[in-house]
Amino acid sequence: MRDLYPDPQKRWKPKFGRFLLDSDARIDTFLFQAGRWVRELFERFSTVMDRFHVSGWRRWGSSSRPRRA
C-alpha cells in the first residue's frame, strides 16, 4: 500500500537512480555516434588515399629516372 505522507528524504533515491540511468544512456549514445563518425571519417580518408596509391612498374620506373637540377 502507498504511503499517504512519504518521507521527503527517501524520495531522492529514485530520482538519483533515474538520473544515473539517463546519464548512462546519453554516454552510450555519444560513444556509439562517435564510433560511427570515426568510421565514416576513416572511410573517406582511405578513399582519398587510394587515389595516391602507386605500385608496380610505375613506382620502380619513376625512381630510376635521373632528376633534373
Distance of CA 32 to the CA centre of its chain: 6
- State yes or no: pLDDT of 50 exceeds 70: yes
Q: Where does the pLDDT of residue 61 fall: very low under 50, low under 70, confident under 90, or very high at 90 and above?
A: low
Could you write out the three-class secondary structure of 28-68?
Answer: HHHHHHHHHHHHHHHHHHHHHHHCCCCCCHHHHHHHHCCCC
pLDDT, average across residues 9-31: 91
Higher pLDDT, 10 or 38: 38
Q: If you average pLDDT over residues 7-33, what whole number do you get?
A: 90
